[in-house]
């Protein structure tokens, strides 16, 4: 996948599981940065928060 060039921690596994649980391609909640660059373990990751949309996590197909 295109995102793999960034070498995400665990291959974005945590994010992909969350996205799948919240509706896969129908999940459209925008994310916002909740933290700055995290480097305690050298991962360079950030924390992203997803507010629950007014009409739920998924859009109708």
pLDDT tens-digit readout, 8-56: 777 788 888 988 988 888 888 888 988 877 666 666 677 888 888 888 7
Domain membership flag for residue 40:
yes
Domain membership flag for residue 60:
no
Domain around 23: 2-50
47-56 contact pairs (CB < 8 A, 24+) = 50/22, 53/28, 53/29
pLDDT confidence of residue 40: 63
Quick check: 47 and 38 in contact, CB under 8 A? yes
Cα-Cα-Cα-Cα torsion 54, 58, 60, 61, nearest 10 degrees, comes to 160
Domain membership flag for residue 57:
no
What band does 61 get if pLDDT is binned at 50, 70 and 90?
low
Could you give the number of structural domains in the chain?
1
- Separation of first and last alpha carbons in the chain: 24
Domain membership flag for residue 58:
no
């Amino acid at each position: 996948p295109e995102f793999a060039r960034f070498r995400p921690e665990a291959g974005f596994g945590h994010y992909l599981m969350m996205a799948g649980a919240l509706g896969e391609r129908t999940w459209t909640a925008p994310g916002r940065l909740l933290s700055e660059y995290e480097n305690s373990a050298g991962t360079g990751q950030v924390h992203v928060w997803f507010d629950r949309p007014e009409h739920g996590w998924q859009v109708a197909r």
